[in-house]
Amino acid sequence: METFRRFEKKYLLDEDQYQKLMKLLEGRIKKDKFSLSHISSLYYDNEHDELIRRSIEKPKYKEKLRIRSYEDSKDDQKVFVELKKKLDGIVYKRRTKAIYKDVIDDIYTCRFDDEQVGKEISYVLDHYGKLSPKIYIGCTRSSYVAKDDPDLRITFDRDLRYRMEDLSLRKTDKDKKLNDKTVMEIKAREAYPLWLCDILNEVKAYPRGFSKVGTAYLKELSGV
C-alpha cells in the first residue's frame, strides 16, 4: 500500500519562465531517483463525466480515479491504480498495483495487490456507477528534490498530450497537443522555504489551478 498526504500547488510556466527558473534552482535541487519519466495515465469516469466536470468546477473536495504507467504498458505488466482526493488544498493519494490487461479489460473484477486500497477503489467504482476510461493524458516528467529537504519535491511536466479515443496506456499517432506550457508542481509537507519563495517571486510564477484532464475535456468540447 502507498499512501500520500501533502500540499500540492501547480504553476503554469511559459518557456522563458521555465528556463530562468531552472537556472535559479541550480544548487538548491537535485534529481530524484526517478529523474526522467514518460507518464501515461487513463482517467475513469461515468457516462455523465461527473468526476471530470467536478474537477473543472474547482470545488473544495474532488477525487479522481486513474491508472498510470511510466512506460508503454505490456499486457502482463503491472500498473498503478490510483485514487486521488483533494480537500482544501491537501492531496491524499491511495495507490496499489494490478496487471494491466486485467485492469483495462474490467477494472471491476481485476485483482488489486493491496486489499484495503482495492476496497476503497471498489467503493468509488460502485458509488459513481459504471466507470470506464475517458481520457488519456501523457507527458514527459522531470523530477527533483530539494537538497536540504527530501520531502520537498518539484516536478516539471512537458510535452503535454491527450486523446479521447484508442484509450490505452500507450502512445499512439492519435495523441493531440494539450498546450505549449510547462506544468510545475511543488509538493511539500510543510510551508515553502524562503529561498524557494524568493525564486518564485523573481520569475513571477504564481500558483493556479490547472487540471490536465479538465483542460483536455474542455478543449474537445470547444472543438479547438
Radius of gyration of the chain (CA): 18
- Residues 97 and 60: their CA atoms lie apart, in Å, by 28
Q: Rounded mean pLDDT of 101-105? A: 95
Asked if the model's pLDDT at residue 1 lies above 80, the reply is no
* Domains, the chain, ordered by start: 2-222 (3.20.100.30)
Q: Rounded mean pLDDT of 55-71? A: 88
- Tell me the per-residue pLDDT of 111-143, one tens digit each, with 9 for 90 and over: 999 999 999 999 999 999 899 999 999 999 999
- Residues 62 and 59: their CA atoms lie apart, in Å, by 6
- Residues 179 and 161: their CA atoms lie apart, in Å, by 8
| Average pLDDT value for the chain | 91
DSSP string for 130-196:
S-EEEEEEEEEEEEEEETTEEEEEEEEEEEEEEESSS-SSS--TT-EE--S-EEEEEEESSPPPHHH
Q: Rounded mean pLDDT of 197-214? A: 94
Asked if the model's pLDDT at residue 98 lies above 80, the reply is yes
Among 138, 139, 141, residue whose Cα is nearest residue 35? 141
- What stretches of the chain show up as alpha helix (H) in DSSP? 15-24, 50-57, 100-105, 115-127, 194-202, 212-222
What pLDDT sits at residue 88? 77
- Tell me the per-residue pLDDT of 72-82, one tens digit each, with 9 for 90 and over: 788 899 999 99
What share of the chain in percent tops pLDDT 70? 97
- Using an 8 Å Cβ cutoff, are 195 and 147 in contact? no
- Residues 110 and 129: their CA atoms lie apart, in Å, by 17
Q: With a threshold of 0.85, does the pTM exceed it?
A: yes
What pLDDT sits at residue 65? 96
